[in-house]
């Protein structure tokens, strides 16, 4: 994992609660890799839009995909500046006053210029990589994408020019005089856990989950699984 830092600019500088910020690529990438949902913000005709999408990372590049006819794709393929955010809620922080209630979280804000993956071979590879990033070796099991599907799908990539992470992982921080109040205070932790598989109703008898799902064990934390599959994915790329 890289030990480099992102440059601090007017775009990514954290001003409020700046002590919670990190500009280390290692920290930013870990938060990106432990999540599967990003929000992409952009402007069309002076109107802001923000689109949720599945993302994946290769080195300093973020990728996401969408329908070739979507408003997001039609705008981003023009090569515009975008802001991509990822956030994870880790807990509710209950204090002895309303003012000091808070949340524990991990978040990232990334800036760069979106570009369309126009080369068909590169797009094909990127769409396969999207599957491999989450489910190692699954592309060896499923049928290949068709030309019709390739035409209907667009892939966007963005080099992360600058980024910042912001995190909180602590208990309540009350005013000193409030600690004597006889009210419970503390943290309610929150995690997303892998559940029990729900087979498709039309699944033929005898078909069981394959090797591509070995990491996705029921009861494991989602962020741990995503971090593990990202490492497997990056190892395969190298």
Q: Is the pLDDT at 164 greater than 90, yes or no?
A: yes
| SS3 call for 194 | coil
For residue 37, what is the enclosing H or E element?
strand 37-44
* pTM more than 0.75: yes
pLDDT, position 2 = 63
- Residue 161's pLDDT band (cuts 50, 70, 90): very high
Mean pLDDT of 70-93: 94
Residue with tokens 């559940």: 195
Residue 132: the pLDDT is 94
Instruction: Determine the pLDDT at residue 212.
Output: 85
CA distance 30 to 7: 18
CATH number of 18-237: 2.30.110.10
Structure-token match 């290769």, residue found: 58
What pLDDT band is residue 238 in, cutting at 50, 70 and 90?
A: confident
Spell out the domain ranges in the chain: 18-237
Cα-only R_g, the chain: 21
**100: buried, middle or exposed (CB in 10 Å: 19+, 13-18, 0-12)?**
middle
| Mean pLDDT estimate for the chain | 94
Specify the pairing of strand 81-94 against strand 153-159: unpaired
Residue 105 CB coordination number (10 Å): 18
Residues in the chain: 238
Q: Report the distance separating Cα 114 and Cα 71, nearest Å.
A: 14
pLDDT digits (tens, 9 = 90+) for 115-149: 999 999 999 999 999 999 999 999 999 999 999 99
pLDDT confidence of 185, banded at 50, 70, 90?
Answer: very high
CA distance linking residue 229 with residue 227, whole number of Å? 6
User: pLDDT-derived band of residue 225, with 50, 70 and 90 as boundaries?
Assistant: very high
72: Cβ contacts below 8 Å, ≥ 6 apart = 40, 42, 49, 51, 53, 66
């Amino acid at each position: 994992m890289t030990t480099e830092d992102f440059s601090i600019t007017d775009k990514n500088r954290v001003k409020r609660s700046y002590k919670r910020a990190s500009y280390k690529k290692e920290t930013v990438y870990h938060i990106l890799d432990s999540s599967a949902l990003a929000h992409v913000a952009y402007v069309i005709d002076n109107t802001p839009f923000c689109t949720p999408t599945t993302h994946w990372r290769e080195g300093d590049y973020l990728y996401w995909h969408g329908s070739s006819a979507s408003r997001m794709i039609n705008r981003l393929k023009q090569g515009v500046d975008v802001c991509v955010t990822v956030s994870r809620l880790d807990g509710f922080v209950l204090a002895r006053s309303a003012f000091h209630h808070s949340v524990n979280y991990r978040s990232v804000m990334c800036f760069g210029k979106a570009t369309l993956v126009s080369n068909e071979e590169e797009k094909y590879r990127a769409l396969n990589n999207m599957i491999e990033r989450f489910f190692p070796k699954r592309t060896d099991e499923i049928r290949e994408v068709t030309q019709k599907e390739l035409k209907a799908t667009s892939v966007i990539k963005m080099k992360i020019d600058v980024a910042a992470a912001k995190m909180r992982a602590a208990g309540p921080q009350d005013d000193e005089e409030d600690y004597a109040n006889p009210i419970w205070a503390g943290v309610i932790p929150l995690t997303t856990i892998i559940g029990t598989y729900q087979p498709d109703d039309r699944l033929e008898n005898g078909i069981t989950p394959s090797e591509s799902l070995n990491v996705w064990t029921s009861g494991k934390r989602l962020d741990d699984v995503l971090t593990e599959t990202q490492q497997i994915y990056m190892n395969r790329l190298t």
